[in-house]
Amino acid sequence: MAGEFERTKTGQYVHDVEQPEQPEQSAASSSDVPDLRGIVTQHEHRSLIRGLGQRHIQMIAIAGAVGTGLFLGLGGSIATGGPLGALLGYMFVGLIVCSIQFALGEVAALLPVTGSFVRHAEILVDPALSFAIGWNVVYGCFLSVPSEISASVVLIQYWTDINAAAWVTILIVVSAVVAFSFIRVYGEIEFVFAILKILLVVFVVILGLVIDLGGVPGVPRRGFHYWKDPGPFVEYISTGSWGRFLGFWAVMTNAVYSFAGVESLAMAAAETQNPRHNIPKACKRVFARVSIFYLAAVLVVGMVVSSADERLGSDSGTAATSPFVIAAGDAGIKAIPSVVNAVCLTSAWSASNQSMLAGTRTLYGLAIKGHAPKIFLCTTAWGIPYFCVLAQVLFSLLAYMCVSNDAMNVFWWFVDLTAAGTLVSWIAIALNHLRLLKALDKQGIPASELPWHNRITRFTSWFALISCIIILLTGGFAVFTTGNWDPASFVSSYLDIPLVLAAYGGYKLIRRTNTIPLESIPIQEALDEANNDPDNVPIKKDSIWAKMNIFWG
């Protein structure tokens, strides 16, 4: 029956839908035929190179999550919800991210495959869901690359008015060189960029505290003055308690997109050294670090900038909109704008690289399971799926639209259509984990046998799943209020939902797939594969210094 697993002669489970027909080959060319047996396929073992260490995947996730959303976007959150409303919103979303990270870590430790949660859905839920989620991720990542390049050009124009086309060309060429390079090159670049971001976060948080406490000559001590006037909350759309709640809710929705990217650390699991130990460890550390950075930044921004400051609503897209720059400028510190703009530039380009990694590896994973053309399985001698990279580089040419301001505005609106994709991905991660736990119960296998497991995740995954669904359905609530209807905002908030549902339903209709029965999910096969994996070696215990190091250890 379509959608079920069957055992091969080798004792491994294979999905009967996902096996493309393999023509007879001679002995000399048989190595060119993908071997799709096993959880982590032999094709992945043979074609990809494990060049990413634990420090790389931790920094890839941090580099994806700490970007322009932190340095430029916090001002909008303060203006919408007030200092306390913004802090509570980010704290709530931080709990969701924690739940998602733990769910992803448990499943990825058992199933360390390229494409991460997209491939997990194929094994744990339904091939149709894998197809829908996978193409949604590819769609979003392919559009994110030109959008981030466009954002980089806007940031560059803070210093110079040289024709935008020249900068677009340079950024595309450099991005392509990195994407076609050995995976470790990409990992080292993201490692450096992530450290720059971390250092800037630490610097601006300390700077904000110095300004707030009166450490700058001529600047009075503020303390929590702005929490009292204009107040801890901002009334949004409505008035009174309801208006303050709506302000909080709008901030929480924005926070989801600020945290977006933390789920990318498992996308290249098959290219990660010792993934069954390194990915769970990275999940724990990345959540703690990103949460500390964001919460500290939100708290400090709410202390040094008034939520009523009109400059927070500026749409210039450069460092001028950063609340840190506003606070530094008011304190008479002149060099901060260029420093923040420079790191924002590396952040935007880094986010472009991260989207390219996630998009190409997801497309490669779809091709492995027969959900994308086989041509995307081709890899270089150093393990790079070059047709996947080439496809994404071609999409990057859309960045030339930023040469025309009108075209850029249209393009940014188009990119907004994929914003809900982050929540869709988080929903898939939580659903995959819950299905894994139910299958363990159904098959009588204790969860303690998993390579990594926490008892609390039985509850936190439900919390994350329900919360993400509610936020997804209410993300565009403002358009339903009196006088605020906007067709563009409605479409950008909700179009992704019918797109995913159409892809899911269309695949099921055409391929006649069924939801994988709990008793047919190959958990024991995955456990045996994990136990027999020569790379599955426990990581040496951290030293006291490493445990205290919350930044890059």
**pLDDT at res. 503:** 94
pTM above 0.75, yes or no: yes
Residue 293 contacts residue 198 (beta carbons within 8 Å): yes
Rounded CA separation 274/127 (Å)? 27
Query: 30-39, 74-83, 325-334: lowest mean pLDDT where?
Result: 30-39
Residue 457 contacts residue 433 (beta carbons within 8 Å): yes
Percent of the chain with pLDDT over 70: 78
pLDDT, greater one: 117 or 271: 117
Rounded CA separation 183/531 (Å)? 26
**pLDDT at res. 470:** 94
3-state helix, strand, coil in the chain (%, to 5): 70, 0, 30
Residue 89 contacts residue 248 (beta carbons within 8 Å): yes
Token pair of 135, please?
Answer: 């193409």
Q: Where are the domains of the chain?
A: 43-511
As a whole number, mean pLDDT of residues 238-257 equals: 88
**pLDDT at res. 35:** 43
Token pair of 235, please?
Answer: 């009334």
**pLDDT at res. 25:** 37
CA distances, 196 to each of 269, 292, 344 (Å): 25, 16, 10
Is it the case that residue 496 has pLDDT exceeding 50? yes
Q: What is the DSSP string of 256-279?
A: HHHHTTGGGGGTBGGGBSSHHHHH
CA distances, 238 to each of 235, 247, 310 (Å): 6, 9, 19
CA nearest 37: which of 11, 55, 76, 62?
11
Token pair of 335, please?
Answer: 């060099």
**pLDDT at res. 198:** 81
**pLDDT at res. 68:** 64
Chain segment 475-491, per-residue pLDDT in tens? 888 889 888 888 877 88
**pLDDT at res. 412:** 53
Chain segment 433-466, per-residue pLDDT in tens? 999 999 999 999 999 899 888 889 999 999 999 9
Q: How many residues does the chain have?
A: 553
Residue 312 contacts residue 89 (beta carbons within 8 Å): no
**pLDDT at res. 541:** 53
**pLDDT at res. 197:** 79
Query: 37-51, 118-132, 166-180, 492-506: lowest mean pLDDT where?
Result: 37-51
**pLDDT at res. 326:** 84
- Residue 51: pLDDT band with limits 50, 70, 90: low
Chain segment 317-346, per-residue pLDDT in tens? 566 777 888 888 888 887 777 887 787 788
Is it the case that residue 156 has pLDDT exceeding 90? no
Token pair of 545, please?
Answer: 């210094």
Is 3.40.50.300 the CATH classification of the domain at 43-511? no
Chain centroid, CA 266 distance in Å: 10
Beta-carbon-side half-sphere exposure of residue 44 (alpha carbons within 13 Å): 27
Query: 26-35, 94-103, 344-353, 383-392: lowest mean pLDDT where?
Result: 26-35
Chain segment 99-155, per-residue pLDDT in tens? 998 999 899 888 888 778 988 998 999 999 999 999 998 888 888 888 778 778 877
Residue 503 contacts residue 135 (beta carbons within 8 Å): yes
**pLDDT at res. 131:** 93
Using alpha carbons only, how large is the chain's radius of gyration in Å?
24
Is it the case that residue 22 has pLDDT exceeding 50? no
Rounded CA separation 122/275 (Å)? 19
Render the burial of 360-388: b for 16+ CB within 10 Å, e for the rest.
Answer: bbbbbbbbbbbbbeeebbbbeeebbbbbb
Helices (H), 260-369: 275-304, 323-330, 336-368
What number of helices (H) and strands (E) belong to the chain?
21, 2
Chain centroid, CA 259 distance in Å: 7
Amino acid at 187: G
**pLDDT at res. 11:** 36
Rounded CA separation 399/452 (Å)? 42
Token pair of 203, please?
Answer: 């610097």
Angle at which helices 164-180 and 336-368 pack, to 10 degrees? 50
pLDDT, greater one: 262 or 498: 498
- Residue 507: pLDDT band with limits 50, 70, 90: very high
DSSP annotation of 41: T
CA distances, 365 to each of 113, 236, 420 (Å): 8, 43, 22
Token pair of 361, please?
Answer: 């590896």
Chain segment 520-529, per-residue pLDDT in tens? 999 998 898 8
